[in-house]
Chains A and B, each alone.
Chain A
Amino acid sequence: MERGSGVTDIQVGDKVLLSYNFCGECTQCRGNYPAYCETLMQLNFGGKRADGSSIMSLPNEHDLFSNFFGQSSFAKIAIVSKSSVVRVPLATDLQLFAPLGCGMQTGAGAVFNTLKVRPGSSVVVFGTGCVGLAGVMAAKIREARIIVAVDLQPERLELARELGATHTFRGDDPDIRKHITDLCGSSRGADFALDCSGAIPVIENMIATLGIRGKAASIGAPAPGRKVEVDVFSHLTMGRQYLGCHQGDSVATEVCRVLAVAMSCAWTNEPSR
Chain B
Amino acid sequence: MIPYLIEKHNEGKFPMEKLIKVYDSDDFLQAFSDMQEGKVLKPVLRWRPEIQS
Contacts and interface: CB of A to CB of B under 8 A. Distances in A.
* Co-assembled chains A and B: yes
Interface of A: 17, 19, 74, 76-77, 86, 88-89, 92, 95-101, 103-105, 108-109, 112-113, 129-130, 133-134, 137-138, 140-141, 153, 155-156, 159, 162-163, 248, 250-257, 259
Contacts of A255: 1, 3-4, 7
B36 to A, nearest CB: 12
Contacts, number: 100
Contacts of A129: 41
B3 A108 contact: no
A141 B16 CA distance: 13
A248 B5 CA distance: 13
Which of the listed residues B4, B15, B22, B38 has the most CB atoms from chain A within 10 Å of its own CB? B4
A108 B20 contact: no
A103 B42 contact: yes
A16 to B, nearest CB: 10
A17 B44 CA distance: 13
A133 B5 contact: no
15 contacts: A88-B6, A92-B6, A96-B20, A99-B19, A104-B5, A105-B2, A108-B5, A133-B19, A137-B13, A141-B14, A156-B41, A163-B18, A254-B1, A255-B3, A259-B4
Give the interface residue-count category, chain B: 20 to 34
B46 to A, nearest CB: 6
Given A129-B41, A257-B1, A141 B15 contact: no
B18 A162 contact: yes
